[in-house]
């Protein structure tokens, strides 16, 4: 196994693969550079930045970006807007690093420009019906990218690989020795307060992806109230929920990534029912009371091991 550790998408990433040709890993890292130039909301050189700056004019964009936006919109529809790719106007108001809370009037004004139904994709031309709308793909892009990296490695003849994009984990082929990959489900505590490898459960995966969202990262407390980065499209403020974290297991990392934040906003009962009924998903949920909930198929599709 050979690996590459690198910083992209504002996080630390790892790609590991069984190969004698390390150029393949360098090619995978270069793919990540390309995706940043497609999907970044803040990079003035990116295709998405250009779309958001078009003030509602129909904009010809890279065909892959247009197709991905169309795909992301399908997730918005499936969860009735609990995930909304036009949250950019609201998310850009928040500064979790410096613990800054935006004024309620500013959030209310930004919410008037949040509505995924106003994004129109026609082949490689994208139109934002609201000139002040802002598409933000950060809640789903890493899943798409992880799937793309595995597809690239597979095309290059790699049979065993692991991709970890800042906690968004996707694997294929199991380990070279025949064992499954073991993916830890992290304790729902900030990275700053615990070792990165501190997990409360292990998922054993040969092929597939596991993605966790939680209200404990990129969060701060002020006047006794927790403010976290999972913003509710209905309010523009951190979601009020009885879930600390949601881990989604799926064959595709896009599916795993595409549903995690919506499950957090659904709350425990609705989230468990949604994941239970969805044929592509399994889920592990941790409630604010410390209970661990899991879909009935989690032991059939993966080995789920609770640690002591």
Closest by alpha carbon to 28, among 179, 195, 158? 158
What is the C-alpha to C-alpha distance for residues 69 and 84, in angstroms, rounded to an integer? 11
Annotated binding site for Mg(2+): 139, 257, 261
Dihedral angle of Cα 143, 148, 150, 152, to the nearest 10 degrees? -170
Task: Return all residues near 29 (Cβ < 8 A) that are at least 6 apart.
Answer: 4, 6, 8, 15
Please state, in angstroms and as integers, the Cα–Cα distance from residue 44 to each residue in 39, 49, 56, 113, following that order: 11, 6, 17, 21
Give the pLDDT score at 86. 98
Annotated binding site: 139, 257, 261
User: What is the distance of C-alpha 175 from the center of its chain?
Assistant: 24
Q: Work out whether the CA dihedral 242, 248, 254, 255 comes out positive or negative.
A: negative
Q: Per residue of the chain (308 residues), what is the pLDDT tens digit?
A: 999 999 998 889 999 999 999 999 999 999 999 999 999 999 999 999 999 999 999 999 999 999 999 999 999 999 999 999 999 999 999 998 889 999 999 999 999 999 999 999 999 999 999 999 999 999 999 999 999 999 999 999 999 999 999 889 999 999 999 999 999 887 776 555 544 557 788 899 999 999 999 888 788 889 888 899 999 999 999 999 999 999 999 999 999 999 999 999 999 999 999 999 999 999 999 999 988 899 998 876 666 665 54
Structural domains of the chain in order of their starting residue, each with its CATH number:
45-126 (1.10.3980.10), 179-304 (3.10.520.10)
Give the pLDDT score at 297. 87
Neighbours of 74 (CB within 10 A): 9
Quote the DSSP letter at residue 222. Answer: E
Q: Give the full edge-to-edge strand order of the sheet including 303-306.
A: 181-186, 199-205, 303-306
Give the pLDDT score at 194. 47
Helix then strand count (H, E) for the chain reads 9, 16
């Amino acid at each position: 196994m050979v690996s590459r550790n690198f910083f992209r998408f504002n996080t630390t990433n790892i790609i590991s693969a069984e190969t004698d040709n390390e150029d393949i890993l360098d090619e995978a890292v270069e793919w990540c550079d390309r995706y940043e130039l497609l999907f970044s909301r803040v990079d003035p050189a990116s295709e998405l930045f250009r779309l958001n700056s078009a003030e509602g004019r129909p904009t010809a964009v890279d065909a892959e970006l247009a197709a991905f936006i169309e795909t992301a919109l399908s997730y918005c529809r499936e969860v009735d807007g609990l995930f909304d790719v036009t949250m950019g106007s609201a998310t850009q108001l928040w500064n979790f690093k410096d613990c800054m809370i935006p004024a309620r009037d500013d959030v209310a004004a930004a919410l008037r420009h949040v509505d995924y139904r106003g994004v129109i994709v026609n082949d490689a031309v994208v139109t934002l019906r609201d000139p002040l709308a802002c598409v933000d793909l950060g809640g789903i892009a890493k899943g798409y990218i992880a799937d793309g990296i595995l597809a690239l490695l597979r095309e290059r003849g790699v049979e065993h690989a692991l991709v970890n994009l800042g906690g968004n984990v996707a694997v294929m082929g199991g380990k070279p020795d025949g064992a499954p990959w073991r993916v830890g489900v992290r304790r729902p505590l900030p990275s700053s307060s615990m070792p990165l490898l501190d997990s409360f459960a292990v998922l054993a995966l040969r092929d597939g992806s596991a993605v966790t969202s939680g209200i404990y990262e990129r969060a701060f407390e002020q006047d006794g109230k927790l403010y976290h980065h999972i913003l509710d499209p209905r309010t523009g403020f951190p979601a009020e929920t009885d879930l600390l974290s949601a881990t989604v297991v799926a064959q595709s990392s896009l599916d795993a990534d595409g549903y995690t934040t919506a499950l957090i906003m659904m709350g425990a009962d609705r989230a468990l029912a949604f994941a239970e009924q969805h044929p592509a998903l399994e889920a592990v949920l941790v409630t604010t009371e410390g209970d661990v909930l899991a879909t009935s198929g989690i032991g059939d599709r993966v080995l789920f091991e609770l640690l002591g």
